[in-house]
Amino acid sequence: MKTDFLIIGAGFAGCTLAERIASQLDKKVLIVEKRDHIGGNAYDYYNDDGIMVQKYGPHIFHSNLKEVWDYLSRFTEWNGYVHRVLARVKGKEVYLPINLDTMERLYDRKFNPEELREYFERKRVRLDQIENSRDVVVSQVGEELYELFFRNYTKKQWGVYPEELDPEVTKRLPVRFDHDTRYFTDKYQGIPKHGFVKMFEKMLQHKNIPPVMLNTDYREIIDSVSFDKLIYTGPIDYYFDYIHGKLPYRSLDFKLETLEMDKYQNAGVVNFPNDYDYTRITEFKQLYLQKHPRTTICYEYPKAEGEPYYPIPKKEYQEIYQKYKREADRLKSVFFLGRLAQYRYLNMDQVVDGALNLFKSI
Ligand code: FAD
Ligand code: UDP
């Protein structure tokens, strides 16, 4: 078999590059995908009850990058969903990230922005340096809210307390001094109107892209394909046969349940920082704005082993990754891109941005 580009993985990284290369360079692109579907972790489908669900947990597109938004918008319209997350704490449901509304519900009193600033000024822990994910939170809002929202949730999600994780993990959640209850304030957000997979299918609809080789680990075919360049979006340590050791990932079990009711919960996602073994429940109908007499929900149970979902942001693992990166940099015709190949906690828009930039440099 002959192709110009061989791409491993049909997620955001692989599909974006395939589309660009096929349509702009007029080169043949063969995509090989281990799973039985395209879309990577953003894969969605109608379940037996006719409800659109996501196989790998809630994925909401959000970005401030106009180029990325405009690019994807060529392949899909968006449903206009605005993501909101409630956390169930102290018998109440309050919005995250922490904002005026959260504080008012939590403490049954009014706050104006100035009062909230003063409140946090009294509560916050003064630190010379922010060294980990605990520091990020306590230095802004103090111990009490840290304990309430972050400490135990993070232990469940990552298997370690926030002290042991790089600052970037909890930095994902800002603190707001207004009544904005949205989870993301990005200019562009939503879910593809007909689902992520329909968008990916459209991206791959090109004469230079033959049907994706599904259910195939690239190692099974690499010796029988002749290609000029390889783009790899799988785990980088696997590519190099774990020569520098295994990079750890956090994994999840997803438990889906269909219920005989129209609506199950008060937001698309509800987090449970301190109770249960699961971290959160997603109600897909709310994300997809779907009307249906029944509803499907998804519980997320974090675990150490299993499919690699989350690279773990810790210095010691970054050091191992850097060793792999040096190996990767030596290979002139192989490009590594995406959450697994770059071993970074990247959002979908960052991956597309990375793909568009890599394309420009190829
Ligand atoms: P992936 O989607 O992982 O695609 C890589 C593909 O390569 C996979 O399909 C895999 O099967 C394939 N592959 C791997 N190894 C091989 C091999 N040996 N041979 C052949 N194929 C192989 N981001 C957001 O922006 N918003 C969100 O709301 C959001 N929510 C998330 C929720 C969860 C639970 C998780 C886990 C992630 C979430 N993300 C979210 C992140 C998002 O999933 C990633 O940014 C995105 O999937 C990265 O795309 P990718 O192409 O790099 O990787
Ligand atoms: N987090 C937390 N409590 C919450 C929500 C988030 O402690 O209720 C922490 C947790 O460590 C999580 C991180 O903040 O991994 C980032 O949250 P985000 O929602 O961005 O994670 P995602 O699900 O997108 O990976």
What are the tens digits of pLDDT across the range 207-241?
A: 999 999 999 999 999 999 999 999 999 999 999 99
Q: What's the mean pLDDT in 317-330?
A: 98
Q: Which phi and psi angles does 295 have, rounded to 5°?
A: -145, 145
- Listed in order, strand segments (DSSP E) in the chain are 5-8, 29-32, 44-46, 52-54, 61-63, 85-89, 92-96, 188-190, 229-232, 249-259, 269-271, 280-283, 295-303, 310-311, 334-336
CATH superfamily of the domain spanning 5-38+204-248+312-361: NAD(P)-binding Rossmann-like Domain (3.40.50.720)
**Is residue 68 lining ligand 1, measured as CB closer than 6 Å?**
no
Q: What is the mean pLDDT of residues 13-33?
A: 98
Give the chain's mean pLDDT.
98
Residue corresponding to tokens 């922005």: 113
Q: How far apart are CA 65 and CA 204, in angstroms?
A: 22
Task: Strand 249-259: give its sheet, edge to edge.
Answer: 92-96, 85-89, 269-271, 280-283, 295-303, 249-259, 310-311
Banded pLDDT at 277 (limits 50, 70, 90): very high
Task: Assign 158 a pLDDT band (cuts: 50, 70, 90).
Answer: very high
Residue at 50: amino acid letter: G
Q: Is the distance from the beta carbon of residue 41 to the nearest atom of ligand 2 less than 6 Å?
A: no
**170 Cα–ligand 2 center, Å:** 6
Q: What's the Cα-to-Cα distance from 33 to each of 132, 219, 265, 292, rounded to whole Å? A: 36, 11, 35, 33
Which pLDDT value is given to residue 136? 98
pLDDT of residue 168: 96
Kindly identify the ligand whose nearest atom is closest to the C-alpha of 11: 1
Closest listed ligand to the CA of 268: 1
C-alpha 15 – ligand 1 centre gap (Å):
11
pLDDT tens digits, residue range 279-294? 999 999 999 999 999 9
What is the pLDDT confidence band of residue 205, given thresholds at 50, 70 and 90?
very high
Q: Identify the pLDDT of residue 84.
A: 98
What is the Å distance from ligand 1's center to 134 Cα?
27
Q: Separation of 20 CA from ligand 2 center, angstroms?
A: 33
The Cα 238–Cα 245 span in angstroms is: 10
**% of the chain beyond a pLDDT of 70:** 100
Asked if residue 236 has its Cβ within 6 Å of ligand 1, the reply is no
What is the structure's pLDDT at 169? 97
What is the mean predicted confidence (pLDDT) over 164-193?
Answer: 98
- Is-contact 233 8, C-beta < 8 A? yes
Decide: 170 and 161 in contact? Cβ < 8 Å. Answer: no
| CA angle, residues 276, 279, 280, in degrees to nearest 5 | 110
Binding site membership of 346 for ligand 1 (Cβ less than 6 Å): yes
Please report the pLDDT score of residue 215 as a whole number.
98
Pairing of strands 334-336, 310-311: unpaired
Q: Using one digit for the tens of pLDDT, what is the confidence trace for 129-139?
A: 999 999 999 99
The pick from 348, 349, 352 for probing ligand 1's pocket by mutation, whose C-beta has the most ligand atoms within 8 angstroms, reads 348
What's the pLDDT at 87? 98
Q: What share of the chain is helix, strand, coil (3-state, %, to 5)?
A: 35, 20, 45
**Beta strand pairing status for 52-54 and 229-232?**
unpaired
Domain ranges of the chain: 5-38+204-248+312-361, 100-171
